[in-house]
Amino acid sequence: MSDLDTLYRELIIDHSKHPQHFGLAAEEGASATSHQRNPVCGDEITLRARVAADGETIRDVTWEGSGCSISQASASMLTDLMEGITRDEARTLIEGFREALRSRGQLELDEDVYGDAAALTGVSKFSARVKCAMLAWVALEDALLRA
């Protein structure tokens, strides 16, 4: 295992043990909640996106959930990334993440763009775990359609 793999693995474990933005924020202003399940692995994510008064900027993303370390770490990494960006920027990030995760190891997530979530790059080589990593991102995509 390379040093990078080790680093990425530690980041995933760290986020799953110390999840960021865990606990749903109050529903106020424009907000929407999405509940997603991955029955294959037993992962569940409930995610809430709140949009600022301008209607475009994401105020914050909070979540609750249970399941494997990849699903929980991915939710934690995602919420860190989305705060304060616009809906369009979020959509672009979600699309890029999905493309990389479905690439079977061909595409890498850019750490400058994806921050800690770039650690999930390696998951794309394990098709059974892609759904785990995607779960929170699908939840955000869904919530933003309604927030």
Binding site for Zn ion (CB under 5 A): 41, 43, 68, 71, 132
In the bound state with Zn ion, the residue whose beta carbon lies nearer, of 37 and 91, is 37
How many other C-beta atoms lie within 10 A of the C-beta of residue 74? 32
CB of 128 to Zn ion, least distance (A): 9
CB of 129 to Zn ion, least distance (A): 6
Q: Of 43 and 116, which CB lies nearer to Zn ion in the complex structure?
A: 43
Contacts of 95 (CB under 8 A, 6+ apart): none
DSSP conformation class of 66: E
The DSSP output letter for 124 is: G
Q: To the nearest whole angstrom, how small is the minimum distance from the Cβ of residue 72 to Zn ion? A: 8
Residue 6 beta carbon to Zn ion: minimum distance, rounded to whole angstroms: 21
- Cβ pair 131, 41 in contact under 8 A: yes
Task: Specify the residue, 57 or 69, whose C-beta has the smaller distance to Zn ion.
Answer: 69
CB of 30 or CB of 68, closer to Zn ion: 68
Contact 15, 72 (CB under 8 A): yes
Q: What is the CA radius of gyration of the chain?
A: 14
Coil, strand, or helix at residue 57? strand
